[in-house]
Structure 1
Amino acid sequence: MKYKEHKPNGYIDNFVQCFWEYENADTEILHTILPDGYFDLIAEFDNDILTTVKLTGVWTKPKDITIPKKTKIFAIRFKLLATEYLFQKEIKSILDTVQNLPFNFWNIDTYQSYEFERFVADITNRIDNSIKHLKEIDNRKLKLFEFIYQGQAETVSELSEKVFWSSRQINRYFNQQFGFSLKEFLKIVRCNATYKDISNGNLSPQTNFFDQAHFIKEVKKYTGATPKELHKNKNDRFLQLSVAEPK
């Protein structure tokens, strides 16, 4: 298994968490994808031939997937704000599942399996141009997701005060756009923030959990495994843990 990421620069960072490439050359691999607070646009190549283009919803529970040998994946991991401003649609209808897209979506069918760098450059330009033609972006939403992804707020009420947007309105927005509450999303992001520590062998909570029992309960709720099981990560089962491990 080979995996690498490119982080975006500038204003696009409000919409894109990273571009990533995955290659599985020799054997079929079973992965469990864990909730992380993002959604992905994925292009899969089988023996260098494009076979799938799809959009995932946000995962709120672990998802088992099988990656065949000689598979390569190009993907974009999006922050939730991208649903409204780049895709201009809700994604609650594909919560915890995927939607197949035409191969020519964003001209993906023009890329060869060895052209990840061109894929990143072209899609970056496409997104930059899309952003330039957008109507004014709601600054409350920009700040809301900035605070959430940077771990700068722990509760719905705290976020509401920071962005001057009522808790009721925020939750209505989340349920209509994404299919879950802001409180649920905060828990998913908080759980995701523990994966790197767990992969490094730190099985005790650092912040934002009441105690060890609460930490274990929350991690198991969203991953289906205890912190100890995640850390063992037998056969690279948990992909997010594998790529979080120090090289």
Structure 2
Amino acid sequence: MSFEKKQVNYQEIHTKEFISNFIKSFWEFETCEKECDFEILPDGFFDLIFEIKNGQIIKVSLTGVWTKQIKISIPENTKLIGVRFKLISAEYVFKQSIKELKNTKTELPLTTLGFQSFDLYNFEKFTDSITKKLQYGLENLKEIDNRKFELFKILYEQKGKISVQEISERIFWSSRQINRYFNSRFGFSLKTFCNILKCHSSLKHIANGKLFPENDYYDQAHFIKQVKQITGSTPTNLYLNKNDRFLQLTTIEAT
């Protein structure tokens, strides 16, 4: 069985140390000679995306968190650089709720965070400059709520495989208050977020043809139901990835 392969270039740099509590990774994506259509699957992050032409930023977009699959179209010969933020960054980097951005995005000024002055031709230099700028600001914040810091650290480390009750007990924050925080800041519950993280962590297994539960699902039927609820597709259809439809599964092979 053969499918058309999209001609794209992709690379990703993962963060380390302190800044990794706020940013998961930086990514660079380039299309070739024709427009590419994809579907984005929920991953538990939100992105700041720079669209670049001839070494200049022509558009800056901020996404919310995807809770369902989203169709996108990327123009031909287009370069995108993205910063994949963890949810705590909404409050401490952007200082705003991103509830209204759930499953959508908004355009920001080209001068957002002053990144337009950085080297857009060298991906590593660009990401180094962003890291230094954001880390300086975060390290000099007067106060970061330790409960929120620990909450997201646990959630991402456990990839959602932890109960709401256990989280509440570990960080001394009631489940009702945590859910109120999630709904007011992001537009969904903590349980929904855990399910998204758990499903996303299964994508690498699915891409490798492992179509059975490995991440705390009750059984095969529960695994299929949860994956389909979040991605809109069964594990089998995700694995087949016809015409490179699912961007994350396509780029798993590129990293």
Q: Same fold (TM over 0.5)?
A: yes
User: Is 1:164 paired with 2:179?
Assistant: no
In 2, Cα distance between the equivalents of 1:207 and 1:103? Answer: 40
User: Is 1:240 paired with 2:243?
Assistant: no
In 1, Cα distance between the equivalents of 2:73 and 2:120? Answer: 19
Residue 7 of structure 1 deviates from its aligned partner by: 1.2
Aligned to 1:54: 61
Q: 1:132 to 1:246 in 2, by over 3 A?
A: closer
Aligned to 2:162: 154
Residue 124 of structure 1 deviates from its aligned partner by: 0.5
Aligned to 1:103: 110
Which residue of the other structure, out of 185, 195, 205, is the alignment partner of 1:187? 195
Q: Which sits farther off after the overlay, 54-63 or 157-166?
A: 157-166
Structure 2 unmatched ranges of 5 or more: 1-7
Q: Is the 8 A contact 2:66 2:103 kept in 1?
A: yes
In 1, Cα distance between the equivalents of 2:77 and 2:254? Answer: 25
Counterpart secondary structure, 1:210: coil
Calculate the aligned-residue CA RMSD, in Å: 1.5
Which residue of the other structure, out of 208, 211, 221, is the alignment partner of 2:219? 211
Counterpart secondary structure, 2:206: helix
Deviation sequence 1:64-113 (CA, Å, 0-9, x none): 00111101011100000101111111100111110100111122333464
Aligned to 1:73: 80
Within 5 Å, which residues of 2 pair with 1:91-130? 91-111=98-118, 113-130=120-137
Please tell me the residue identity of whatever aligns with 1:38. Answer: F
Aligned to 1:198: 206
Please tell me the residue identity of whatever aligns with 2:35. Answer: E
Residue 132 of structure 1 deviates from its aligned partner by: 2.0
Counterpart secondary structure, 2:158: coil
Q: Is the 8 A contact 2:69 2:231 kept in 1?
A: yes
In 2, Cα distance between the equivalents of 1:49 and 1:16? Answer: 24
Counterpart secondary structure, 2:233: coil
In 2, Cα distance between the equivalents of 1:16 and 1:23? Answer: 21
Structure 1 unmatched ranges of 5 or more: none
Please tell me the residue identity of whatever aligns with 2:151. Answer: L
In 1, Cα distance between the equivalents of 2:118 and 2:241? Answer: 33
In 2, Cα distance between the equivalents of 1:119 and 1:79? Answer: 19
Aligned to 1:226: 234
Deviation sequence 1:151-204 (CA, Å, 0-9, x none): 274211111112111101111111111111101111111110110000000000
State the TM-score, normalizing by the size of structure 1. Answer: 0.95
In 1, Cα distance between the equivalents of 2:225 and 2:134? Answer: 39
In 2, Cα distance between the equivalents of 1:235 and 1:49? Answer: 31
Q: Is the 8 A contact 1:43 1:108 kept in 2?
A: no
State the TM-score, normalizing by the size of structure 2. Answer: 0.92
In 1, Cα distance between the equivalents of 2:72 and 2:237? Answer: 18
